[in-house]
Structure 1
Amino acid sequence: MGQPRSSEEAGDFIIGRHPVEAALKSNQSINKLFIQSGLKSDVLSGIEQMAKKKGIITQLVPKSKLDLLSDQQNHQGVIVAVAAFEYATIDDLFKSAADKDEPPFFLILDNVEDPHNLGSIMRTADAAGVHGIIIPKRRAVGLTSTVAKTSTGAIEYMPVARVTNLVNTVNELKKAGLWVFGTDMDGQDYREWDAKGPTALVIGNEGKGISPLLKKACDGMLTIPMIGHVQSLNASVAASLLIYQGFTSRGK
């Protein structure tokens, strides 16, 4: 077992060169930058200069220290300690769409538990112009350092709202004019899906899919045809296919 973190180091960490660069370029509140001592790199030098310009405390530490802070993840010689990631509100998501003068395109994640899946989904959502992600407060992964690393910086730009009840939220979105689509084995071929108007897409849990009550609240269901021996896809892979169909149909 490693040594416990001190109080100044407790909290969230962003790990790896690209995620750290994205954090430094954003408005994320950064407490301290840790760089591996004795590691020569133009990228690390650039990161250190960015931090100095922003007045961020920088500390050179041995690799063992970074291994401890990152829980043995591949930190690439750099970590930043940040304030807890802030969640958006549903109103913030609508504002994100309005600022771009686009009909809303939201993603709803029904109890996605794997932080790597959430990070990958955020990365795709950011690339495809999704205006925000909605997750439940319970029985689902939140915004963690692992999510931040996997998202390779998308966590800095993709608003994420946490809600108490997804079914109630879906009903409110429908009242606001959104069409809500879920995923199921029996549904419309996703390649025929048109997401031009105000739209929300629901992605289910890695093992159980979408909960029955939430499925019942959806306006329609989409399916991804499969002709191989394996009849299921990783949640982040399925989400990517569906998000990009939405992106394509919206004429981006």
Structure 2
Amino acid sequence: MAGNSQRRNRRTSNKKGAQVGSGGKRRRGLEGKGPTPPAEMRKGHVKQRAAQAKIRKQSGKQAQRRSKSVSELVVGRNPVVEALREGVPANALYVQQFIDTDERVREAVRLAGERGDVRLVEGPRPELDRMTGHLNHQGLVLQIPPYDYAHPEDLTAAAFDRAEDPLIVALDGVTDPRNLGAVVRSVAAFAGHGVVVPERRAAGMTAGAWKTSAGAAARVPVARATNLTRALEAYQKAGLQVVGLAADGEADLTELAALDGPVVIVVGSEGKGLSRLVGETCDVRARIPMPGGSESLNAGVAAGVALYEAARRRG
């Protein structure tokens, strides 16, 4: 028909060419994205964040258990012999093969053999190097098992079971194991019921603490608190007075009636003293009279003075 060839978009040839289309987008759009994933798998969803936080928390607890179960190694001839002499718990003594023995090596082997519960293991030098991270072990390595910490509530329970007023020392920010060992020794000397240390940023019961305690660590329990402030608040609810030692304390230690009854004596580090939250939690902060003018005492000495005063007042 005349004029039909002028219509728009009318094909005037049988040859097929490129066609205008969606490129398959409409077809894929009709197919959909599949079933909706559960809330825990949706990015940014509150339930996904909660699930991830739970996984992180569980992983942290598992890592914490692993860190607590790691054994300590004492390396070198003199440190190993001293640890065995002081009765530091051990489960294995590693001796290098073909070692040049001297009296220290012979004594270490003899002491370990006399105990009966310490395995004697002979190994090549490369194995001892690997165990110690290539420290100068001199052919002797002593393996110390992880310390079995008590719970803070165990200390008061033991005192009440004996019909005694609890006498406990808590350490705030004390990082030197020798100070911890000295406090344990003083607690044993003055009939205390135990020591509480924080779980983080604090000294633990290492071989050094065991040695400084001079055997008292075998008799005095050491408890570990996840949060020291909450542990002190729990003691307060159980009827204990919390006395913090501080150079600027408002009370004189020698005149403090709180030492007569159930009490927790809190000792801070020599440099920083009590932390803010722990200081605010204390029922009273007491100072130790020092006529000689010394500004401070280390944690071991301060705890010993306070424990002596508590024992004296108790008769």
- If the TM-score is normalised by the length of the shorter chain, which range does it land in? 0.7 to 0.9
Deviation at 1:230?
2.9
What is the correspondence of 1:27-42 to structure 2 with a 5 Å cutoff? Answer: 28=89, 30-33=90-93, 37-39=101-103
**Residue 261 of structure 2 aligns to a residue in which SS?**
coil
Match of 1:161 among 187, 199, 223: 223
Mark the runs of 5 or more structure 2 residues left unpaired by the alignment: 1-69
For 1:165 and 1:240, the matched residues in 2 are separated by: 24
Match of 1:236 among 273, 279, 300: 300
What is the correspondence of 1:69-84 to structure 2 with a 5 Å cutoff? Answer: 80-84=142-146
Question: Which deviates more, 152-161 or 200-209?
Answer: 152-161
For 1:48 and 1:210, the matched residues in 2 are separated by: 41
Name the structure, 1 or 2, with higher relative contact order (CA <8 Å, separation 6+).
1
Deviation at 1:156?
2.3
**Residue 186 of structure 1 aligns to a residue in which SS?**
coil
The aligned residue for residue 193 of structure 1 is 256
Deviation at 1:244?
1.2
AA at the equivalent of 1:193: L
Match of 1:119 among 181, 186, 191: 181
Deviation at 1:174?
0.5
For 2:81 and 2:162, the matched residues in 1 are separated by: 29
Question: Which deviates more, 84-93 or 171-180?
Answer: 84-93
TM-score (norm 1): 0.75
The aligned residue for residue 224 of structure 1 is 288
Question: Which deviates more, 202-211 or 86-95?
Answer: 86-95
Identity of aligned residues (%): 33
Q: 1 or 2, which has the higher helix percentage? A: 2
The aligned residue for residue 233 of structure 2 is 171
CA shift in 2, pair 1:88/1:216, >3 Å = same
Q: 1:98-154: CA deviations, max 9, x gaps?
A: 454321111111111122211211111122121111111122122222222222222
CA shift in 2, pair 1:31/1:43, >3 Å = closer
- Residue 89, structure 1, aligned to residue 151, structure 2: yes
AA at the equivalent of 1:186: G
The aligned residue for residue 32 of structure 2 is none
For 2:164 and 2:103, the matched residues in 1 are separated by: 45
Deviation at 1:82?
2.2
For 1:188 and 1:17, the matched residues in 2 are separated by: 45
Q: 1 or 2, which has the higher strand percentage? A: 1
Larger radius of gyration: 2
- Residue 211, structure 1, aligned to residue 275, structure 2: yes
AA at the equivalent of 2:208: T
CA shift in 2, pair 1:158/1:16, >3 Å = farther
For 1:222 and 1:239, the matched residues in 2 are separated by: 12
For 2:187 and 2:157, the matched residues in 1 are separated by: 17
CA shift in 2, pair 1:42/1:192, >3 Å = farther
CA shift in 2, pair 1:135/1:31, >3 Å = same
For 1:82 and 1:165, the matched residues in 2 are separated by: 26
For 2:117 and 2:280, the matched residues in 1 are separated by: 52
AA at the equivalent of 2:189: A
**Residue 285 of structure 2 aligns to a residue in which SS?**
strand
User: Cα RMSD over matched residues?
Assistant: 3.3
CA shift in 2, pair 1:37/1:58, >3 Å = farther
